[in-house]
Structure 1
Amino acid sequence: MNLGMAEFKRHDPLENVLGRIDDLDQASLGILVKRLARERRLLNSVFNTLREGLLVIDSRGIIEYANDSACQLVGFSQREVGNLSLWKAVPDLTRTLHFGPGGQLREENNLTRELQLTYPERRIVRLYIVNFEDELAAGSSVAQYAVILSDVTQEKTQTQQEIETARIRSIIQLSAGVAHELGNPLNSLNIHLQVMKRQLEKMGEGREVEKLQRSLGICQGEVERLDGIITHFLQAVRPQPPDFAQLELVRILEESLEVMGPELESAGVNVDIELGAKVPVVDGDRQQIKQVLFNLLKNARQAMKDGGTIRVRVNSDDDFVYLQVLDEGEGIAEEDLPKVFQPYFSTKSEGHGLGMMICERIMHDHGGQIGLNSRVGVGTAVTLQFPQKHRRMRLLQAGED
């Protein structure tokens, strides 16, 4: 193979011309420059017809070349080439690679990774990195990497979408049936229970009256529970589109804690808030984000049966705003973690199993993500990731280019 490459270089006309560049006159240099420009345009045209993204990066991750598909997949413009780091554009990639001193990539062999991107849109991308060396004039070389990006979203999600579609269809049918069959009878029961409660209050005090009042209270509680099940069903299967506005997450968190305060205090739960230096506003639906926070705070409170501290962290980087809720509860078993966002799954006996599914849907509708880490006996951390507004603006600018 090495002999073949040597033979190729020896008979390459362009290589021969470059070797005699000092002997060329002005006219020959002009012809050479035109030829190089023509070949560069040809290569760019060929690369830009590819559906796969193609990048060339150095060991620090700086993007030195990108075709149009790579710009669209990752979400940057050609104007950023030469300055933008791939590690910055795809932060999750750094978690799976090895770096040496100074933040330089240490991967020497070819490698393949699959990543889920959330910007400019949700995609699953297969990333293939090939190491090569760019020879310099002085005989030294610098490590470079060719990065090939393939959008495998459809391949990976087609089966899952079919399963999800069938599941949602069954949920819709079930919820519609439950609402139809139980809605009117529950309203009737609730009205008659209220009438009975008023009649008992007129009967004064007594042991028999107290027993009847306790039984009546149990009945009212069960009616409310059934009504809650129907409400959760409808929220899960008939979502409303977000009413977007600029929101301060910290303020929404404070409003949520004002409502949840008495419940948390009675359970012996304290809340410790850690805020970043400056938290940007995000685009979102105030009521839907409150619903997510209510769910997370309630789950954290229920996980800490003996009380404890809920820590809430709000911070940001250049592209995202993060809100993290950490509890000191029982934690979730590793085998149960993949089921957390599935309908009807709950680690609580009184849970409906739809809360986290609703949270994931709301975050998806906001262009964000929700992640969960948990260890049995240690606690659970749920992270909400909201895209900053300028990420959408960058996508629009890239489209104009």
Structure 2
Amino acid sequence: MRSTTGADYRSLENDKIKDETMIWESKQQCIQSGIDPNLPPVFHTRFSEVELKAQLHKYSELLDIISIFVNKLLSTMQGDPILILVTDNEGYILTFKGDPASIARVQGSGVIEGVQFSEEVGTSSIELSLRYKQPIQLLGEDHFHTMLQRSACYSAPIHSDGERRIIGTLNLMTDIEFAHPHFLALLSAVTDSVEREMMLQKQNNQQHILNQALLETNYYGLIVTDALGRIIEINEKCLTILQLEDRDKREFIHSSVFDMIAIGQYFHRVIDEHKACVGMELSLQVQGSIQYYILDVVPIYDCIQTLIRVVGSFHNITEMKKTEEMLRNTEKLIFAGEVAVSIAHEIRNPLATVKGLIQISGKDSKLLHYDLIMSELERMNLITRDFMILGKPQMVQFQADYCHTILEEVLSIFNIQAGMNDISIVYEIIQDIQIQCDRNQIKQVFLNILSNAKEALPCGGEIRISLEIEGDFQRVRIRDNGEGMTDEVLQKIGEPFHTTKQDGNGLGMTIVYKILTSHGGHLDITSDVGVGTTVDIYFPLKDESSSNSYVI
């Protein structure tokens, strides 16, 4: 036990002198105010019934905490005339606890719930404790009023959590013969306990709010387990990600996270090896589509480095992945443009030579299919120009035309290839209206798509072509009963250099998409493996106000 030093005695003596000074000054103020010490204290201000009810509601959390500690204190003083009072920060009495006879005696003298101990009432430990912001005791004749000089009163201020702001006082009152020098220290210890409990409850409330905010978010999937992998918390978003949204999340509380195939291994690693798993990329099928997630699983330790919790969080990165893919495709398209321009230049030179020699020989040479050869050479020249579309902007000439006339020219060439591959073509015109287009570019669109259909029919089959109006678009449908495509292949159509053909370059559909975009059209492709593929090409109907040229 620590011995009392001379400095301790001097400190205690100084505190006593300080208290005596405060009490003496308060009594002098009472005399100057004309307060009669022989009369009971007069309370000039008090709460109305409604005001008291409102203040009790405001202080309900504090009063509940105080009750816990005061009840323990009073249980050690049973049979003693001990009275406990609680006031707010302005000295208004909120509640009494303790010996019933003492409560009745005090209330009989006018000290009831709702009255205020202010300076005008006279010297009181409550008013002095609030004024000087410190614990204080009044013993016997320290009181100004004669009727209170048979009492011992102790008061200690209660501070707000973590602040020096006073929110009330805790007070002990007893008969003078039951006074004890340790009562003030005991009361101060109780207020310290109350303040710590208030701070702890506030922290718990803040943590609860934070936990709820995190668990109820729609942006993250969260799952929390204990050190053995038993689930403590899991939010609805997590259940959706793991395709368990049809089940109540309460079913998973206290179950093992290791049973969740998609994420169990990562929790196992954290719990067994005590190492965080951060940045794990998962691909999960959610509501019929592939979604990509970053999974972080981190351990939580207490102050002595014991594992107490493991927290896993999912963050959807699907849009980020799509953006990355788009950037990669843009880079590919730029490279494809550079390659296409280079190839086009190399082709155009020998092509010009062949075309020139045939023109020199002229029709008089009686060359078979002279007109068709010249037409196709001209189209080849235009194709090389179209390849250059990938490399630099080109001016295309729009004019009114019918899809069926363009298709008939294409089919006059394609029928020969189709016949050689045992492919039959069924052609149906339901409705055909003029569109604004660059004829040669649209021929290339049809030929590229028909070529793909032919490649899908290595053992022969049927290609059905139909023309129909759908809304504000001319729809050209090309359907084959060939091999079909998987969803994975279908999603990559149009990407530069993506091809399933052994000798393909992966630019055909890229050019198709670019041409259609320049024409204000679009493409819809559906396919089933073993059933076939349907390609719907949409061209906007002719607009008389549209320009005849367009830069692509």
Which one has the bigger helix percentage?
1
Which structure has the larger Rg?
A: 2
Q: Which has the higher contact order (CA 8 A, sep 6+)?
A: 1
TM-score (norm 1): 0.44
TM-score (norm 2): 0.32
